[in-house]
Structure 1
Amino acid sequence: ASMARTEAGTSGSSSSSVAGSSAEEDFYIQCDAPNCNEWHEGSTLSPPITPLTASTYETWHCPSCTPYHGPSKLKSVTSMRQGLRKKRRIDFVKLNDPAALLESESNNNGIGVAANDVQEIDFRAKLELRRKKGMFQNGMTAASSTGKGCCLKVVTSGGKNEFTTKYVNTHGFNQPVLFATQQPYQIGLKLPGNHFSFDTVAKLVGPYRKTQVIDTATQLTTEYTLQEWVDYLSTPENERTRILNVITLEYSQTPLGKLVREPQFAREVDFVSQCWPKTTEDLRRILDHCGDNKNNNKKNSLDDKDDNDNGGDDDKSKTSKEEEEEDLTELLKELQEEIPRVSKYCLMSAAGSYTDFHVDFGGTAVWYHVYFGQKIFYFIEPTTKNLKIYSEWATNGTSSSGRGSKKSNANAFLPDLITAAGGDVFEVQLKKGQTLFIPSGWIHAVFTPKDSLVFGGNFVHRHSLEMQLTIFRLEKKMRVGKNYKFPFYQKLMWFVAWDFLKQRDDLMMMMQVGDKGKNSVMGREQQVIQQICGKYPNHVLLGYKALAKELESWSRSKQKITTDQFPENMDVTKVAIQLGELLTKCVAHLGVNTKKEKASIKLEKKEKKKITKQEKKRHNSQISQEKKKPVITPIKCSSSSSPPANKKCKVEGCTQYKRSKCDGYCATHYREQLSLQSGDNIDYNAIPPPGRGCKVDGCNKYKKSKCEGYCLMCFRASVKTTSRPSTSKRAA
């Protein structure tokens, strides 16, 4: 690494491999890492390297080699003179390190921040207290019993994948989906083999790769190298001074990325893999269809120049094509650098770690597989009411980290606010080998009972476009920082719109070739609309309609943050207008179909009403028949204690009158017969026990109070024979 090369090809000795001319933009530097030795342009590096700064390196490592071979080393410089005054040294790394910040009891170590400036919260105790109070509903139990749970438990069997694009087209993707199977290949998920650990992750991604680490108690972040993180996790749980968590390690461009493949559904619907331009042919087609004014002017100027040179020279036309190809190649290179890489994340969590309630950036959906360990999710459905509560909680200083401006609400816990407003919080446990799909917009928090390794990723898809745009607007309203947003989200949406228009153009071209010009343009457009409406479900077309409306507002915007994400080779106004017109026709076509469906639904409802009316009539008739059953009426007064033979109960030995509608029985024996027929085993004894019967011989009725030892019938007979009007009046 002692060679220096100039643009003319001369060489000389230097402590670091550099190359360049006197101009800094032509300066190149060579990587000193083993088996690399690649040359890099100094102006393209971050930060840029000039001949002056390159001379300060003893060994220099390129960005791709730094995670594996460590950072570049500077030359040791001995100062000519050391000042007599001792300067105060501030450790800016510790200044941002929550562990160091909170472990220092005083301000004597030069950190510069007092420990009591940050509030610690015991989230484990918070969750356990609310679990005991019954605040959290079991998502899986609720889903299986009442159908109101937040999770749809899908169990694959026989190696068949039940959660596919076809399934989502029919049922939608509005609730979390849990795969309890121990075989990830059934959903198209590829994972590393056995004996995979935290140390293996560090070796594959790079032990010197820096990653963000979250302190659970304060929810503050700092940076660790992966080797430092593995050393932390290797310590016993009872010896860890802080509970830390890693959830943002993206590894798609590392050797680990080749060992992990996303589930089949995520790969099939991901907008990044489906719509982001991959070749210069894709860019040329966009340019030919709706190139922006800059590229069109450049193309027109080249054409005018060819026309002015006596009809255009072949060499010049060739040169113009070569220049256009070079421009497209350069543009494609820029787009490949900007492509959002969010589909593969590795999450390494210590036992007891907790991620507070949040919504994934851009309203993206998430796939989440527990390689080992355990996770507990707390879900809140993204209703309009819940999202409003969440945004106020996150922006008005009421988050659990206590970093907000409202001190009175500094310790507010989001589940308390949701349940107080009548909402639900669902608890779902995720064990080793299980995979979870989280739809767009769901508010969730995650608790880790024991050390866990998780593979996951985010993806934007067509089945929740309305919710994704809602979360995008919510992030803008909440002023979420650029580092916490989906990278190049608006540019991706422009490519999504173009991809939809490209499908329309392809269908038009196929029909034009198939019918050989027999049908008119209007007829072909109508057929295309019918095919599009048949291909996509209603909720997808309505999502594209919402996207067209959003793109129209973006195309009229003059804010730099929006205009910077306009694709360079696209006329965004033209794309927004065309998409809006196409979706208006599709929705109108759906409206016709929905009217027919509504009419058929009304007929079905009318038929059901007729059936229900008939059933009600039958039910009422049954009730009326039950009401007409024999009713025991009060015993009428008789002139004698013994009834005549034709009015006597047909049971031998019974001296009671037979009752009407009792089949010739008295009331007592009629009840007895009913009990025998129904089988209720109730003993209806007609003879009262001793001391409680009527004093008239042969009467088996109970004596009544205030009747001088007689039953009511015998008492009335005795009153009539003795002619005691005052007593009879009192008895009556």
Structure 2
Amino acid sequence: MMAAAPLYCVCRQPYDVSRFMIECDICKDWFHGSCVQVEEHHAVDIDVYHCPNCDVVHGPSLMKKRNNWHRHDYTEPDDGSKPVQAGTPVFIKELQNRIFASGEEILIRMKGEQVTPRYLERHGFNYPIGVTEMEALGLKLPAPTFSVKDVEQYVGGDKVIDVIDVARQADSKMKLSEFIKYFTKSHRPKVLNLISLEFSDTKMSELVEVPDVAQKMSWVENYWPDDSFFPKPFVQKYCLMGVKDSYTDFHIDFGGTSVWYHVLWGEKIFYLIKPTPANLALYEAWSSSPNQSEVFFGEKVEKCYKCVVPQGTTLLIPTGWIHAVLTSQDCMAFGGNFLHNLNIGMQLRCYEMERRLKTPDLFKFPYFEAICWYVAKNLLEMLKELREDSCPPPTYLVEGVKALIGALKTWLKREVTEPTSEVPDNIRPNHLMKELTKEIRYVEVREEEKKQERVELHLKHIISARRLREQQRHAPKVPSNLDILEQHTREVLKRLEVGPLEEVHGKLNKVSTASAAAAAESLEDNHLRLMLVNGRIIRDRPTSPSTEEAIQGMLSMAGLLCSPKPEKVASSQEPWWSSPNQCSRLEHREAPQHQRRLQGDKSPMDSQGNSSSEAWDNQGLPSPEMDYQYCDPSMSPPLHPSKRHAPNPPPISNQATKGLEHFLFFIS
């Protein structure tokens, strides 16, 4: 006959491991905390406990005496020699006075519509994102008037929850109804924080929808099969309720998950540290040290950023970021965790760190290894489809699969000594790893081929560039328009080598005309032909505006231009004689003067009755009032210098301009 199980408490029930019990220091009997109205977090404050039966005789329980405000065990004597511990009232006050780098240095401000999987796949998810404009983020939440009592109504007051005694940084269990009663009291003897209320399986789940980006990227939502032997992890929807001065020390979210937070009302302050290899190594050493609570980790690293998250703001924290949280005023927030493809390597690294730190299962991602096997199977199919479509996979995915293959191999080897297998029944692990390795080799070979092609193309460009430089080095220099003008001016100056002038009857005549005639004849062989039309010098082939402007500027400086009258001029591409109007005008105006000059007429009269000699100013240039047409000298024989009125012009210092002046005088 089996002995009956021992019965305890005033309720005379057997021992239940899930329920908190306390021992009476007088009668040594055990009692359920809920039966004797003693909460677990209150039990640590009792020095000597008297059960309801014993306190009738011995009086009420004796409480511990507070001796300090900076140690987790507040009964320690305050001799000033022990350092401040995290979460204590002294620590909170010091934390609020510390100076940190601004979170704006690393926080990416975005609108809800911008935070999409496509954006994160293109730009990476490596820095925290702050969202204040919620439209199109896909986040659905209760109104800001939603209270802690509403939470109790939707979740149920009997739900047992884990709360944190902030001053002691210790967990304890209590009913949600008791926590709500504590939260709504004006006097709170201690600071309690609730951060682990996952409500996916409650009525409150219908009031909350997670952001689209978290939903679409989540491994659990995309890869967890409905027929899995393992229960589906519920980490997508948390309700966080903390009173003022609640504090959670530095940590990395389980499994390296990314996390979204939304402050419904109140305010939270995040202290963020980038997950560099150096910072992660420091974090692991700090987490495993015996005096962890006495060292503020934010001072161990190069930079710790302070980020204030006010009411109505959503914060997304990427994989692996080390962070602590201070509730600066009573606050209700919602949040959730999700694994994804963008930072697989970092997620695996955080998981292995948790194993080395011997993190309790309660604070680890549920069935992390199982979901990694499911993900590996799905990523294999994805890689095959991309290869068949000749579409290279993104770099982050290739690197992630490589890290995943290494982790899966390690876990299989570990099974020999630690048989805690989470390999799903419908997966052949060795075959899966072999196929994944094969797909990665295909990608690497293709990448190597592309790299070789890029190198060859680069070499071709280098060779082509060298050949072009060699050709340019040995090729004759193509003269510019200004070079041609300068060359032509020099040739004209050489050809206009006229002798000294002598005065005959008060006029200046050339001693010799042979060189001038030879120059005129030689102009026909010159490849550069110039024409002055309405005060502008033009060529027999088009020139660039800059060249023409340069020429006009040179002539203007030398005073060789007369103001043109608006008049339609024949194209410089055609000879002057090709225009009948042009020829008739020249014949009508120029021929008579030419005849009179040949006859030695000293003062011919123009159509206006003015002397033609007066039409030239004191420099021998045409008067601005006169309209002269200049044509190609090779097509119209120049007048003999002795037959023309040529007053002696003053000298011009610029030799090239002087040559042009003589040249234009000559061809006119």
Identify whether the pair has TM-score above 0.5, normalized to the shorter chain.
Answer: yes
Residue 209 (structure 2) pairs with residue 261 (structure 1)? yes
Equivalence for 1:101: 44
**Cα drift, residue 557 of structure 1:** 2.9
> 358, 361, 367: which one pairs with 2:254?
361
Equivalence for 2:28: 88
The SS at the match of 1:218 is: coil
Query: Within 5 A, what are the aligned runs for 1:641-720?
Result: none
> Counterparts of 1:358 and 1:463 in 2: how far apart (Å)?
21
> Counterparts of 2:29 and 2:211 in 1: how far apart (Å)?
50
Q: 1:567 to 1:120 in 2, by over 3 A?
A: same
Letter in 1 for 2:377: W
Query: Within 5 A, what are the aligned runs for 1:372-451?
Result: 372-400=265-293, 411-418=294-301, 423-451=302-330
Percent pairwise identity: 29
> 581, 586, 596: which one pairs with 2:443?
586
Q: 1:480 to 1:52 in 2, by over 3 A?
A: closer
Q: 1:240 to 1:255 in 2, by over 3 A?
A: same
> 216, 220, 223: which one pairs with 1:275?
223
Residue 96 (structure 2) pairs with residue 137 (structure 1)? no
Asked if the contact 1:375–1:447 (Cα under 8 Å) also holds between the matched residues in 2, the reply is yes
Structure 1 stretch 452-461 or stretch 567-576: which is displaced more?
A: 567-576
Unaligned residue ranges in structure 2 (runs of 5+): 20-24, 51-59, 66-72, 78-83, 463-668
The SS at the match of 2:291 is: coil
> 128, 133, 141: which one pairs with 1:176?
128
> Counterparts of 2:458 and 2:159 in 1: how far apart (Å)?
60
> Counterparts of 2:120 and 2:451 in 1: how far apart (Å)?
20
The SS at the match of 2:120 is: helix
Equivalence for 1:200: 150
> Counterparts of 1:200 and 1:556 in 2: how far apart (Å)?
49
Asked if the contact 1:90–1:111 (Cα under 8 Å) also holds between the matched residues in 2, the reply is no
Query: Within 5 A, what are the aligned runs for 1:286-297?
Result: none
Equivalence for 1:575: 432
| 1:102-132 CA distance string (max 9 Å, x none) | 4759999389998637986555654664665
Equivalence for 1:151: 107
Letter in 2 for 1:170: R
> Counterparts of 2:64 and 2:244 in 1: how far apart (Å)?
30
**Cα drift, residue 569 of structure 1:** 1.9
Q: 1:601 to 1:123 in 2, by over 3 A?
A: farther
Asked if the contact 2:40–2:174 (Cα under 8 Å) also holds between the matched residues in 1, the reply is no
Q: 1:596 to 1:162 in 2, by over 3 A?
A: farther
> Counterparts of 1:201 and 1:362 in 2: how far apart (Å)?
28
Structure showing greater Rg? 2
**Cα drift, residue 445 of structure 1:** 0.3
> 476, 480, 490: which one pairs with 2:369?
490
The SS at the match of 2:342 is: helix
> Counterparts of 1:499 and 1:591 in 2: how far apart (Å)?
25
**Cα drift, residue 489 of structure 1:** 0.4
Asked if the contact 1:271–1:461 (Cα under 8 Å) also holds between the matched residues in 2, the reply is yes
| 1:506-564 CA distance string (max 9 Å, x none) | x3xxxxxxxxxxxxxxxxx9544x32x2xx42122211111012112222332465642
Residue 448 (structure 2) pairs with residue 555 (structure 1)? no
> Counterparts of 2:167 and 2:349 in 1: how far apart (Å)?
31
**Cα drift, residue 502 of structure 1:** 2.8
Counting matched residue pairs gives 427
> 117, 126, 137: which one pairs with 1:165?
117
| 1:167-208 CA distance string (max 9 Å, x none) | 011100011111022x3x420111123531101111111110
Q: 1:463 to 1:594 in 2, by over 3 A?
A: farther
**RMSD, aligned CA:** 3.9
**Cα drift, residue 211 of structure 1:** 0.4
> Counterparts of 2:454 and 2:31 in 1: how far apart (Å)?
69
Letter in 1 for 2:193: N
Q: 1:455 to 1:526 in 2, by over 3 A?
A: closer
| 1:238-286 CA distance string (max 9 Å, x none) | x21101100000100111111111100001010011111125xxxxxxx
The SS at the match of 1:570 is: coil
Equivalence for 1:251: 199
- Relative to the length of structure 1, the TM-score reads 0.53
Letter in 2 for 1:139: G
Residue 352 (structure 2) pairs with residue 473 (structure 1)? yes
Unaligned residue ranges in structure 1 (runs of 5+): 1-50, 61-66, 72-84, 141-148, 280-331, 401-410, 508-524, 606-732
> 209, 233, 239: which one pairs with 1:346?
239
> Counterparts of 1:96 and 1:117 in 2: how far apart (Å)?
23
The SS at the match of 2:337 is: strand
Query: Within 5 A, what are the aligned runs for 1:233-244?
Result: 233-236=183-186, 239-244=187-192
**Cα drift, residue 396 of structure 1:** 1.3
**Cα drift, residue 101 of structure 1:** 1.7
Letter in 1 for 2:201: Q
Asked if the contact 1:95–1:101 (Cα under 8 Å) also holds between the matched residues in 2, the reply is no
Letter in 2 for 1:463: L
Asked if the contact 1:123–1:354 (Cα under 8 Å) also holds between the matched residues in 2, the reply is no
1 or 2, which has the higher helix percentage? 1
Asked if the contact 1:150–1:379 (Cα under 8 Å) also holds between the matched residues in 2, the reply is no
> Counterparts of 2:204 and 2:364 in 1: how far apart (Å)?
25
> Counterparts of 1:591 and 1:387 in 2: how far apart (Å)?
33
Asked if the contact 2:89–2:167 (Cα under 8 Å) also holds between the matched residues in 1, the reply is no
